[in-house]
Amino acid sequence: MQESTVVAPTQEREIPLAVEMRDICKAWPGVVANDHVNLAVRKGEIHALVGENGAGKTTLMNILYGLVHPDSGEIFINGQLVHIAGPRDAIRLKIGMVHQHFMLIPPLTVAENIVLGHEPGRVASTYDIKRARAAILELSKQYGLPIDPDVHVEKLSVGLQQRVEILKVLYRAADILIMDEPTGVLTPQETFEFFGVLRGLVNQGKTIIFITHKLREVLELSDNITVLRRGKNAGTLVTSQTNQAEIARMMVGREVLLRVNKTPAHPGPVVLHVENLHAQSDRDLEVLHGVRFVVRAG
Amino acid sequence: MFLQVLFRVLPSSDLWQSTLQFGALLLLPALGGVISERSGVVNIAMEGMMLTGAYAGVMTTLATHSVIVGVAGAMIAGGLMALVHAIVSINFKANQIVSGIAINIAALGLTNYLLFIQTGGQGVPSLKDALRLPNLAWGPLANIPFIGRVLFQQNIIFYVAVLILLGIQFLLFRTNIGLRIRAVGEHPQAADTAGVNVRLIRYLCVIGSGLLSGLAGAFLALGIAGIFNSNMTAGFGFIALAAMIFGKYTPWGTAGACIIFGLGQALSVRMQDSGISASLLSTLPYILTIIALVGLVGRTTPPAADGIPYEPGTE
C-alpha cells in the first residue's frame, strides 16, 4: 500500500483556497472515521469528495459544518485558521450544508423552513412573514430557483424539497456549499436540472464541495476530486485528466470491474407473483397504479 | 329525576359561571402542557406541579401576609418541580412519562409530609378574605342578566387565564420564538442545524409549563378554596392533560376542551339534589374525560419529536 499523500493538482496555484482541512483525525469507539485527512478546495471550484460507504466523507463534512468535533487537525477558511464549534459558527463563516437526509420540517411552510434560526427581525418579535417572503422570492429570482414560499414542505416533491434546502443555505449568504449525496433521491430529470443549478451557483462565485459515489457525476460536474478510503486520503485527481476506472481504483484500492460479466440466467419456477398493486405515498398521492410483476427462482 | 334536575340546572347562570371558573382552572396547566409538548417534551406532571404550587401558595401567603407574594411563591414552586422534570428529560434523556409520574407521586408525598410537620397535624387554617385572590366584578357589565354573572363576575385569575390564552396563541403562531418552539418539537435536528438552540428552548418551555401549573395551584387554593387540603387537586392536572390532547395541542382547542370538562365538574357539584349519589356525580368530569379521549375525537397527532430525547450529531 502506498503512503497516501495529498498531491496538489498541477493547476494554477494562485487561486486561493476557500477551504483547507489539515490532518483531521476523528475516532469513535471501535471505528476511526478520519485518519490524518487533508482536503484542499479552491475558491469557485466544484470539488468532489468520493469514497465507498464508510470511507469518512460525511464525517469530514460534518466536521467542517461543526456538527462533529475533530479529535485533532486544523481548518482554514480563506486562509484564516478557524474554530468551528457548531453550525452557528459554520454559518457565520458562510459555510452551508445540504444534508443527505433533508433537514426540513414537514408541517411548516417553505418560508418558515428557510428562515428558521435567522428570522427577519429580532428573536422575540413577531414573525415578519412579508419580509421573509420577499427575501425568498428575491433569492429565487437571483439564482433561478422558483419556489412558492407559502406551501407546506410536506406537500413538495423531493426535487423541490432539495431546492428549499439549497435556498436555506443561500439565504444565510453561504459562499461555500457542502452537498452530501445530492442526487441520491432525485429522478434523472431532477438530476439534470440540479446540474444546471450547481453551474449557476458557481457562476455567481460560490464554492461547492459535493459528496458522491456516482462516478459519472463526478466526471461531468467537478473540477477536482479528493478520494478517501477507509478514513484516509487515497489521492487527489484533476477531473479533466482522469476517468472512472482510475477513480474507482483509488476508492477501492484494487482493480474494479465496471462491467460485470454475467452467465446466462436459467429462470426456474415463479416464487413471487404481484398483481394489481396500488399504493399511496405519505403525501396521499397514488404512486403505484395497479403494478404487476413476476419473479422466478434463479 | 336526573333529567329533570339537569334541565333545571342547565339554564342557571350559576352553573355556567362555575363552568368557566373550572375551565380556567384547567386551562392554565393545560396551556403549560401545550407549550411543553410543542417543544417536544412530554409533560404529565401538571397534577404534581399544581399541587405543589397550591401548597407553596398557601404557605407563602400565610408567612408573608401577602397574597401576591403567595402567588409568586406558587409559581416558583411549580417552576422548580418543572425544572427537575426538565433536567431529567433533557439532560439525562430519561423516559419523560416516568419522570412525570415520579413528580406527581413526589408532590403528593411532599405536600402531605410538609403539611403534617408544619401544622402539627392540624391542617392549615382557612384563609381570611384579605389573603385570598379576589373575585372581580366589572361594574355595569356585571349587571347584565345571565352574561353579567357568567363573564364579568369571575375571580381575577380567570381574566389572567384568558390573557395567557391569547398570549400563548400569539406566541406560538405569530412570533419568531414560537416558530422555533414548533420546529424543535417536530424536528429538533433540523432546528439544530439551522442554528436554533434546542436545549434552551425546551428548558424554557418546560419551566414555563411549571409556572403555569403553579399559578393554577394558586388559583385553586388561594382563589377558589381558600385553604390547602391534602391532594386537593384531585386529578384536575390529569383532566388538564386530557384537555390538551382533546384540543389537539392548540391553545384554542384546549380552551374549548377545558370548557367542556369544566361543565362536567360544575354539573357534578350542582346536581347534588337530583337523587343520584354525590360520589357517583363526582365521577362525572372524569368519565367525560375518558369519553372524549376514547370516543369523540379522531386520532390526534402530537408534534413529531414529542417525547424523544434529542441526541445532537450524525445519524
Q: Are A88 and B190 inside 8 Å of each other by CB?
A: no
**B139: pLDDT strictly greater than 70:** yes
* Nearest-neighbour CA in chain B from A67: distance (Å): 6
Mean pLDDT value of segment A19-43 = 92
Q: What letter does residue A258 receive in the DSSP assignment?
A: S
Do residues A233 and A201 make contact, with C-beta atoms less than 8 angstroms apart? no
Q: Which of B268 and B262 is assigned the larger pLDDT?
A: B262
- Most confident stretch, A57-61, A285-289, B192-196: A57-61
Confidence of residue B39 (pLDDT cuts 50, 70, 90): very high
Q: Residue A58: list chain B partners with CB under 8 A.
A: 314
Q: What letter does residue B154 receive in the DSSP assignment?
A: -
Mean pLDDT value of segment B239-261 = 92
- A171 HSE (CA, 13 A, CB side): 29
Quick one: A270 exposed, middle or buried, by C-beta within 10 A (0-12, 13-18, 19+)?
exposed
- Of B179, B189, B312, nearest to A116 by CB-CB distance is B179
Q: Residue A117: list chain B partners with CB under 8 A.
A: 180, 191, 194-196
3-state secondary structure A221-271: HCCEEEEEECCEEEEEEEHHHCCHHHHHHHHHCCCCCCCCCCCCCCCCCEE
Do residues A60 and A25 make contact, with C-beta atoms less than 8 angstroms apart? no
pTM recorded for the entire structure: 0.82
How far is the C-alpha of A212 from the C-alpha of A231, rounded, in Å? 15
Q: Are B179 and A112 inside 8 Å of each other by CB?
A: yes
**Rounded to a whole number, what is the largest CA-CA distance in chain B?**
66
**A93: pLDDT strictly greater than 80:** yes
Any B CB within 8 A of A87 CB: yes
**A13: pLDDT strictly greater than 60:** no
Model pLDDT, residue A77: 94
Q: Over the range B39-61, which residues count as b (16 or more CB within 10 Å of their CB) and which as e?
A: bbbbbbbbbbbbbbbbbbbbbbb
Confidence of residue B299 (pLDDT cuts 50, 70, 90): low
Confidence of residue B187 (pLDDT cuts 50, 70, 90): very high
Confidence of residue B128 (pLDDT cuts 50, 70, 90): confident
What backbone torsions phi and psi does residue A44 show, to the nearest 5 degrees? 80, 5
**For an interface test with B, which of A84, A116, A161 has the most B Cβ atoms less than 10 Å from its Cβ?**
A116
Q: Which of A292 and B35 is assigned the larger pLDDT?
A: B35
Q: Which residues contact A56 (CB under 8 A, 6 or more apart)?
A: A26, A33, A34, A35, A37, A228, A230, A231, A232
Model pLDDT, residue B59: 92
Share of chain B above pLDDT 70, in %: 96
| DSSP notation for A170-212 | HHTT-SEEEEESTTTT--HHHHHHHHHHHHHHHHTT-EEEEEE
Confidence of residue B74 (pLDDT cuts 50, 70, 90): very high
Q: In chain A, whose CA is at the least distance from the CA of B173?
A: A127
Model pLDDT, residue A4: 43
Domains of chain A: 17-252 (3.40.50.300), 266-298 (no CATH)
Model pLDDT, residue B68: 93
Q: What letter does residue B155 receive in the DSSP assignment?
A: B
Q: Tell me if the domain spanning B2-122+149-294 has CATH number 1.10.3470.
A: yes
How does the average pLDDT of chain A come out, rounded?
87
Q: Which residues of B touch A (CB under 8 A)?
A: 174-180, 182-183, 186-187, 189-196, 304, 312-315
pLDDT tens readout for residues A178-213:
999 998 888 888 888 889 889 989 998 999 999 998
How far is the C-alpha of B144 from the C-alpha of A278, rounded, in Å? 62
pLDDT tens readout for residues A98-154:
988 889 999 999 999 999 988 988 877 888 899 999 999 999 998 888 999 999 999
Q: Are B304 and A106 inside 8 Å of each other by CB?
A: yes
- Of A59, A103, A123, nearest to B177 by CB-CB distance is A123
The CA dihedral of B82, B86, B89, B91, to the nearest 10 degrees, is: -150
Any B CB within 8 A of A123 CB: yes
* Least confident window among A91-95, A182-186, B278-282: B278-282
Confidence of residue B297 (pLDDT cuts 50, 70, 90): low
Q: Are B193 and A106 inside 8 Å of each other by CB?
A: no
- Of A58, A68, A104, nearest to B190 by CB-CB distance is A104
- A2 HSE (CA, 13 A, CB side): 10
Share of chain A above pLDDT 70, in %: 93
Mean pLDDT value of segment B125-136 = 84
Model pLDDT, residue B1: 65
A to B CB pairs, distance under 8 Å: 81
The pairing of beta strand A207-212 with beta strand A176-180: parallel
Model pLDDT, residue A3: 43
Grid coordinates standing for A293? 410483476
3-state secondary structure of A231: coil
**A279: pLDDT strictly greater than 50:** yes
* Nearest-neighbour CA in chain B from A181: distance (Å): 15
Residues comprising chain B, all counted: 315
**B285: pLDDT strictly greater than 50:** yes
Q: Are A116 and B187 inside 8 Å of each other by CB?
A: no
* Least confident window among A8-12, A25-29, B91-95: A8-12
CA–centroid distance for A280 within its chain: 28
Q: Residue A119: list chain B partners with CB under 8 A.
A: 176, 179
Q: Are A127 and B175 inside 8 Å of each other by CB?
A: yes
Residue extents of the structural domains in chain B:
2-122+149-294
Model pLDDT, residue A2: 44
